[in-house]
């Protein structure tokens, strides 16, 4: 057994959740993956995974081992990338997490040029409205919007975005444009909500920031549906500028009550603190930061 290869396979097993998925990724059969993991368990004298017919369950010992094994694999990759051909040609998989709409509208369009520059780097893009546990979920980078509260993460600022009140010209032609905050009570609002909890809009009145609880016929917990609802003329929404940037610039969507617009919201790249960042991860970070600065994404 090549111990390092077995550790790499175990790390990918935790992150993929499937022996067959790891086998396909590595170009080997599922039995070969299982055999290597079994040999690693015998070497360690501990059971790392529970195998059932439907799923792979990581044991408590396996989870503890994974956290150190992930660091080891990253350190080895970083060492290899600092010498020889890898200095010029980083390779490997980078796992990055962001919100679904942000991934589709802001990240995916940037990838063709990145892959032209770094053809041996692959990206595993996961999307979720929830904040993932980077270490527990095996994520290298995540994009976070708003104030950061997790001190276990290191952050690099990508940009800032405005949160704007928007509606389509078709909606405004029927309902009229609000002229002041109180006018919003007479309009149909597109409400971002989780379950029955409506997320209030943050609005600035003079030097104060106030919370306004919107009401309307449509509630959704997905930013893509907020975007679609605005474009369909269903009402007024508060949304990050990037969600409807092209439509705002073309006039397909109009910004309302700009005097009520709150302070800009920061967007950060975050990664686990205290870890050496592999070259494949570093080049993606640098590329995204430079592209955001250049294009004001």
pLDDT for position 31: 85
Average pLDDT (238-251) is 96
Least trusted range by pLDDT, from 31-45, 75-89, 90-104, 197-211: 75-89
Q: How sure is the predictor about 12, in pLDDT bands with cuts at 50, 70 and 90?
A: confident
108 with 73, same domain: the answer is no
CATH number, domain of 168, equals: 3.40.190.10
What's residue 264's pLDDT? Answer: 93
Whether residues 18 and 145 fall in one domain: no
What's the CATH code of the domain at 21? 1.10.10.10
- DSSP SS3 for 208: strand
Looking at the chain, the whole-number percentage of residues with pLDDT higher than 90 is 56
For residue 225, the enclosing domain spans 163-260
Is 113 in the same domain as 191? no
Looking at the DSSP bridge assignments, the partners of residue 225 are none
Do 256 and 168 share a structural domain?
A: yes
Lowest mean pLDDT among 100-109, 140-149, 156-165: 140-149
Nearest to residue 10, comparing CAs of 52, 68, 91? 68
Number of domains composing the chain: 3
Q: Which of 81, 104, 135 is the last residue of a domain?
A: 81
295 and 222, same structural domain? Answer: no
- Work out the end-to-end distance of the chain between its first and last CA atoms, rounded to an integer number of angstroms: 47
Residues 292 and 148 in one domain: yes
255-265: per-residue pLDDT in tens? Answer: 999 999 999 99
Q: What is the pLDDT of residue 114?
A: 97
Model confidence at 85: pLDDT above 60: no
The predicted structure's pLDDT at residue 170: 96
Nearest to 165, CA basis, from 210, 246, 230: 230
Helix or strand run (H / E) with residue 50: strand 49-51
Q: Looking at the structure, do residues 4 and 76 belong to the same domain, yes or no? A: yes
pLDDT digits (tens, 9 = 90+) for 109-157: 999 999 999 999 999 999 988 888 887 788 899 999 988 877 778 899 9
| The pLDDT value given to residue 235 | 97
Same domain, 108 and 140: yes
The last residue of a domain, from among 81, 110, 139: 81
Mean pLDDT computed over 247-271:
95
Q: How confident is the model at residue 53 (pLDDT cuts 50, 70, 90)?
A: low
User: Which ranges in the chain belong to alpha helices (H)?
Assistant: 3-16, 19-26, 30-44, 60-81, 100-102, 111-117, 169-175, 223-231, 245-250, 279-295
Per-residue pLDDT at 24: 78
Using DSSP's 3-state secondary structure scheme, residue 109 falls into: helix
Q: Are residues 101 and 176 in the same domain?
A: no
Which residue, 46, 81, 116, sits at the end of a domain? 81
Q: What is the pLDDT of residue 1?
A: 59
pLDDT digits (tens, 9 = 90+) for 173-232: 999 999 999 999 999 999 999 877 899 999 998 889 999 999 999 999 999 999 999 999
Same domain, 167 and 249: yes
- Mean pLDDT in the chain? 89
Both 174 and 137 in one domain: the answer is no
63 lies in the same domain as 127? no
pLDDT of res. 81 = 63
């Amino acid at each position: 057994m090549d111990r390092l290869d077995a550790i790499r396979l175990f790390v990918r097993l935790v992150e993929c959740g499937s022996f067959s998925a790891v086998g396909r990724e590595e170009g080997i059969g599922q039995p070969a993956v299982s055999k290597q993991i079994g040999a690693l368990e015998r070497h360690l004298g501990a059971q790392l995974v529970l195998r059932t017919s439907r799923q792979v369950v990581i044991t408590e010992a396996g989870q503890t081992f994974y956290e150190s094994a992930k660091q080891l694999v990253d350190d080895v990759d970083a060492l290899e990338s600092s010498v020889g051909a890898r200095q010029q040609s980083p390779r490997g998989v980078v796992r990055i997490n962001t919100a679904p709409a942000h991934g589709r509208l802001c990240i995916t369009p940037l990838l063709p040029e990145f892959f032209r520059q770094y053809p041996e780097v692959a990206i595993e893009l996961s999307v979720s409205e929830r904040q993932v546990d980077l270490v527990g979920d095996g994520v290298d980078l995540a994009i976070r919007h708003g104030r950061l509260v997790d001190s276990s993460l290191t952050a690099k600022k990508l940009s800032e975005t405005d949160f704007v009140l928007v509606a389509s010209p078709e909606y405004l032609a029927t309902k009229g444009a609000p002229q002041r905050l109180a006018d919003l009570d007479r309009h149909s609002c597109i409400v971002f909500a989780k379950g029955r909890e409506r997320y209030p809009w943050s609005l600035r009145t003079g030097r104060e920031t106030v919370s306004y609880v919107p009401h309307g016929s449509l509630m959704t917990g997905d930013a893509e549906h907020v975007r679609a609802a605005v474009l369909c003329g269903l009402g007024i929404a508060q949304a990050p500028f990037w969600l409807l940037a092209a439509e705002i610039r073309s006039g397909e969507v109009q910004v309302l009550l700009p005097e009520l617009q709150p302070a800009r919201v920061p967007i950060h790249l975050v990664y686990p603190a205290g870890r050496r960042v592999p070259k494949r991860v570093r080049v993606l970070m640098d590329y995204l930061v430079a592209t955001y600065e250049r294009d004001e994404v």
